[in-house]
A = this chain, B = another copy of it.
């Protein structure tokens, strides 16, 4: 069977999680997130972010987190703003609009938003009450293109949002990868300080399921649990989420796993760079987009699975490679071997 670099959710979960599920399996616990594991995991996350007054909720996946957060925050006539590459715009089957809210889209090469990007959107939505009211800025870190926000960039965005009464929401499906990138100067504490809401993605970083929504803005905390229940996201056995995040947060396993994924991607990237390969964008997380000639792509695809992302010209295309918490050295080395031979 071919090894897959298609995504970071191809395998099960980190063994510690299965061990913990096994260990606690027959303990009777309260349902719906009131179990002791969930309570402990929440405390652990609050410690990590150094914010005792944040509230934390666990849900199963990213689309679910996005639709619950956004629909709980916005009034019916308010809308979200997102980079055109945003997951909520392209890969969630209109989940946000299905809750009644438009998303305004901004074209950005690198998938990141700046105050300068947002200003004209605000200016073009002043015809009250004939237009939606922009109220929430959706960003992701790392982004759907593998890029990341610097501390300075996030501070600027956060300040701008506060000044313009916009909520700032960070999709953290790949938060671990973003924060442990070798070029990142952002920390989880800073994310918590600078955003109104964010989430820590488990699904793409070693959990079976699970994202931890962290609500830092206290005005957005009220009654949040109702929204989770109403959208069908409140698991009867909330323990499944609690146990997983307890394991991931212990001893920083969460960050170790993400760092590992990043490092495996960087090995491939660096090997390619040595061979003069160009990239669609210059990423330092577990997603890379090398531009290769079609023959090399053909050769690689005999042994590996990956997405051909974008045709560049007659002879060249960009491919997308994603490594995971569980990507071992062997497939990485095999892949690099082919690159070295074929280029």
Contact = CB atoms under 8 A, between A and B. Distances in A.
Interface of A: 1, 3-4, 7, 9-13, 15, 18, 21-22, 24-32, 59-68, 71-72, 75-77, 79, 90-95, 97-102, 105, 127-133, 203-204, 208-209, 223, 225-237, 239-240, 326
26 contacts: A9-B31, A11-B26, A11-B29, A12-B239, A60-B209, A60-B232, A60-B233, A63-B232, A65-B232, A66-B232, A76-B99, A79-B94, A79-B97, A90-B131, A92-B232, A93-B229, A93-B230, A94-B131, A95-B230, A98-B101, A100-B100, A128-B225, A203-B235, A204-B236, A209-B235, A231-B232
Contacts of A62: 236
Contact of A223 (B129, B228, B229): B129
A64 B232 contact: yes
Contact of A67 (B95, B130, B131, B232): B232
Contacts of A13: 25, 237
Give the 4 A-B CB pairs with smallest separation, nearest first. A64-B232, A77-B226, A12-B25, A129-B225
A91 B100 CA distance: 16
A229 B92 contact: yes
A231 to B, nearest CB: 7
B11 A93 contact: no
Contacts of A4: 28
A138 to B, nearest CB: 15
B209 A133 contact: no
Contacts of A60: 60, 209, 232-233, 235
